[in-house]
Amino acid sequence: MRPTSVKPMVEAGIMASVSILFALISAYVPLLGVLVNLIWPVPIVLLGVRHGLKWSVMATAVAGVLIAILVQPLHAITMVLGLGLIGIVLGYAFRRKMSPAATILWGSVASLVSKAAILGLGMVTLGVNPLAAMPEAMEKAVSQALDIYRGLGAPEQVLEQMQTQLQPMVKLLPVVIPASLLLAAVVDTFLNFLIAKTVLRKLGQPVAGFAPFKDWVLPRWILYFYALAILMIYHGSKEQMELLYKAGMNLQILSTALLLLQGLSVFYFLADKYNLSRIQRGIILMMTFVIPVVSSIAVFAGAFELVLDYRKLRTVRSQ
């Protein structure tokens, strides 16, 4: 054996052990396990950056076999298939020094493929389509929540109002599953990107990051997609074209999320400009995600920025 292969092998063993530990926590410590699942790919990412694609794939496979022995095969398949592919792809992208945007793009594709594969696996092994069962599960969840409030003494009139407000959301959720899966893929990829980048920098391997959030400039075509989504929803509902309506709803969810992101970037720009404290920023951010009116204002601010270039960042970059 060549001496140069010893170090990668040792680190592969260490990273595989860390992945197995994370899997055990995920299986037996439910609350902490949710957080651990978000960072499970990080050891695989680090190994791929330091020693290449071969070693990250090998460590993932070894971790999967040992998780199957220590926990159960289905849990191992879920972890490796659902999270291992993200780690492998991100590690490869980091090693190839891809741009942050390209890294997130390929990682999100890997995450989306993983989620689709897990859904397919669930259909094969359990004989149940999780997507088809979702409406019934959501209705049961709403019913149980109302029963809890009823047991706490909430007036029936208030409960009826809550049910009236929640019913459209319950019906909408199955429609926007594609957009939800895509957004989830981007979010978990971005979290792993940030964590891996931080760890790599501490290990002396700097990785290119994004510009400061307050300087983010998203493309203007987002507005065209948003307008197209509104037209698709309108014509789909008016002419009873279910497929067109569903496509429009998913496109609206995605474009709205991007406009909200641009609006939050503008907020951070203004927060720095007017020296808002962390407490003030935290309160406004919490209001944005809790109060619909505030989130709508943020979306409008994002659209306003794309049209008028309030921060003049687009003008500066085009010079």
Q: Domain locations in the chain?
A: 1-127+176-209, 211-319
> 245: which 2 tokens?
């309506």
HEC secondary structure over 20-60: HHHHHHHHHCHHHHHHHHHHCCHHHHHHHHHHCHHHHHHHH
C-alpha 123, offset from chain centre: 23
The per-residue pLDDT string of the chain (319 residues; one tens digit each, 9 = 90 and over) reads: 444 566 777 777 777 787 778 778 877 777 777 777 777 888 888 888 888 888 888 888 888 888 888 888 877 888 888 888 898 999 999 989 899 999 999 999 999 998 888 888 777 776 666 666 666 667 777 677 777 777 777 677 766 777 776 676 767 777 888 898 899 899 989 988 988 888 888 877 778 888 899 999 999 999 999 999 999 998 888 777 888 988 999 999 999 999 999 999 999 999 998 998 999 999 999 999 888 899 999 999 999 999 988 888 876 555 5
Top CATH class of 1-127+176-209 equals mainly alpha
CA angle 226, 130, 21 (to 5 degrees): 100
pTM of the model: 0.81
